[in-house]
Amino acid sequence: METLTFRFEHGQRRLKATSELVGVVSSGNLEVLIENAVLNGACAIEVKTAARGFGAIWEAVMQDFQQRWQLADTRISINDMGATPAVVSLRLDQAVEAMVEEDR
Amino acid sequence: MSASYLEATARERLLAVLDADSFSELLPPAQRVVSPHLGQLDAPVSFDDGVIVGEGKLGGRAVMAAAQEGGFMGGAVGEVHGAKLVGLLRRAVVKQAAGVILLLETGGVRLHEANAGLIAVSEVMRAVLETRAAGIPVIVLVGGANGCFGGMGIVARCANTVIMSEEGRLAMSGPEVIETANGVEEFDSRDRALVWRTTGGKHRYLTGDCQQLVSDDTEAFRAAAIAALDQAGDAQLTLAALEAEQEMLRRRIATFGHADDPMDIWAELGVARPETVPMLEAEAFTTMAQAHRIVSPA
C-alpha cells in the first residue's frame, strides 16, 4: 500500500455539512469519502492505494479535479484498488455531485 | 421502474428495498471503523468494512437492515464486519424492531482475518437465533453476483425466510472449493449452468431451502420482503420445527442422495420437463413449482 496526500489552498466552493461515500473498494475501482471539514478554505485529499509508484499520475488527476471544482473546506479520503485515472476522475466528480445536489 | 438487484451496489439495494428516505446508517463510513487486520497485511480497507447497517422502515414498519457489499473482498466477513451485523441484531431486540432484513452477498469468512473472522461468523449465527428467540423475524435476501456461501450460508438458513432470485446462489462450499477438494469429476466449477442448477435460487426453492423466488428486480425483492414481514407470525425457532426440519433433511438425502444432477431431483419431484426449468421466468416457475416443491417447516 502507498499513502499519498494532497492539499489545495484557497478554494471557492463550499459543500453541504454532511458526508457522502461513492464507489466500492474492488478490483480496478475505488471508494471516495467526501466530507465537509474546517480546513481554512483548503481541500485536503488522502489516497491509500494498492498500486505503488503512481504518485505523479495521482497528482495530475487531483490537480485537474481541483481546477474543475475549486473546493473549499473539504476532506476527501480514498481507498483505491488500482482504478485507472479516468475511473478516479469519474468517482471524484460523482462524490462532489452528491454533495452539491441539495444546493441546486 | 424496474432495476436489477444483481447490478446494484449494497448501498443502492438497501435504499431500494426499504421505504424511501427512511434509512439511517449506524457506524457510517465517516466514522472510519475499518478492519484492524487488513492494514497489517498491507491490504486495502473499506470505510464501512464491506457492510452497511442501520435502521429504516419497510412497508411502514420499523426494521433493522444490513447489506453486504460483494465487491469488497467478495463480501467476506471480517471481525468488524461481523461485529456490525451482531450489533444490529442485538439492537433489534433492544429496540423491539418489527424485523431484521439482511441483504447477504458473501463468500463467507474473510480468510485474511483467520480466527477473528470465523468467530465473527459464529457470533452472527448466535445473534440471529437470539433475535428470533425474542420473537423478531429475520429475513434474508440473496441476489448478488457472489451468492451466499460458507458460514453465511448457514446464517441464511437460520433465518425465518430466505428470498432469492434465480441469479442468487446459496450453499455451504462454493463450486471452486468442491472441485479443489473432490476433483473435477465430482463437480466442474467452470460449468456455469451446472453451478446455477446446483446452487441457484430455483433449485433452492424446489428443495425447500428458500421460501420465495423473485425476478432479479429490486422492487420484486422489496415486495417479497414486505410480504415476508407480514406473514412472519411467531418468529421463534421451536423444538418441533427443528425436528421437522431435521426430518425433511433426512428424507431429502435418503430420496435424492444418489442423484448426479439437480435435474434428476427435479424429475423425481414430479417436474414434467426439468430441462425447461432454467428458462422459466420467476412467476411462471413459481406457479409450476408449487405442486412439486419441498416445503421447509421452519
Closest residue to A33, CB basis, from B29, B39, B50: B29
Q: Is residue B182 part of a domain?
A: no
Q: Is B207 helix (H, G, I), strand (E, B) or coil?
A: coil
Beta-carbon contacts of B170 under 8 Å, excluding residues fewer than 6 positions away, are: B142, B147, B148, B149, B153, B156, B157, B162, B164, B199, B201, B204, B209, B210
> Testing the interface with A: which of B11, B53, B72 to mutate, by most A Cβ within 10 A?
B72
Whether B158 shows a pLDDT value over 50: the answer reads yes
| Nearest by Cα to B109 from B186, B44, B158, B174 | B174
Name the band, by pLDDT with cuts 50, 70 and 90, for residue B296: confident
Q: Identify which of B43, B44, B47, B50 has the alpha carbon closest to the alpha carbon of residue B75.
A: B50
Q: Give CA–CA dist B207/B296, Å, rounded.
A: 8
Nearest to A1 among B30, B42, B47 (CB): B42
C-alpha cell at B220: 420484486
Nearest CA in chain A to B42: A1
For chain A, say whether B72 makes contact (Cβ under 8 Å).
yes
CA distance B9 to B140: 17
Residue A24 pLDDT > 60, yes or no?
yes
Domain A2-103 fold: Ribosomal Protein S5; domain 2 (3.30.230)
Average pLDDT over residues B123-128: 98
Question: Does the structure show a pLDDT above 80 at B18?
Answer: yes
CA distance B144 to B152: 14
User: Do A24 and B71 make contact, defined as CB atoms within 8 angstroms?
Assistant: yes
Using DSSP's 3-state secondary structure scheme, residue B105 falls into coil
Chain A's closest residue to B73, CA to CA, is A26
Select from B11, B42, B47 the Cβ nearest to the Cβ of A79.
B47
What does chain A look like in DSSP terms, one character per residue?
-EEEEEEE-S--B---SSEEEEE-SSTT-EEEEEEE---TT-EEEEEEESSTT-HHHHHHHHHHHHHHH-B-SEEEEEEESS--HHHHHHHHHHHHHHHHGGG-
CB B163 within 8 A of CB B224: yes
* Residue pLDDT, tens place only, B215-245: 999 999 999 999 999 998 889 999 999 999 9
Q: How far apart are CA B52 and CA B45, in angstroms?
A: 14
Residue B200 lies in a domain: no
Q: How many residues does chain B have?
A: 298
Of A1, A50, A79, Cβ closest to residue B46: A79
CB contact under 8 A, A35 and B11: no
Provide the residue range defining the domain that includes B86: 10-170+210-236
Q: Given an 8 Å threshold on Cβ–Cβ distance, is B71 in contact with A25?
A: yes
Residue B69 in contact with partner chain A when CB distance is under 8 A: yes
* Tally of structural domains, chain B: 1
Q: How far apart are CA B34 and CA B229, in angstroms?
A: 32
Is B113 part of any domain? yes
Contact between chains at A21 and B11 (C-beta distance less than 8 A): yes
From the number of C-beta atoms within 10 Å of its C-beta (0-12, 13-18, 19+), residue A1 rates as middle
Choose, out of A25, A49, A80, A91, the residue to mutate when testing the contact with B (most B CBs < 10 Å): A25
Tell me the three cell numbers of residue A86: 479516468
Report pTM. 0.96
Report yes or no on B280 lying in a domain.
Answer: no
At B163, give phi and psi (nearest 5°). -110, 130
- Give ipTM to 2 decimals: 0.93
Interface check for B53 against chain A (CB to CB < 8 A): the answer is no
CATH number (domain holding residue B217): 3.90.226.10
Q: What is the pLDDT of residue B1?
A: 60
Q: Are A25 and B72 an interchain contact pair (Cβ–Cβ within 8 Å)?
A: yes
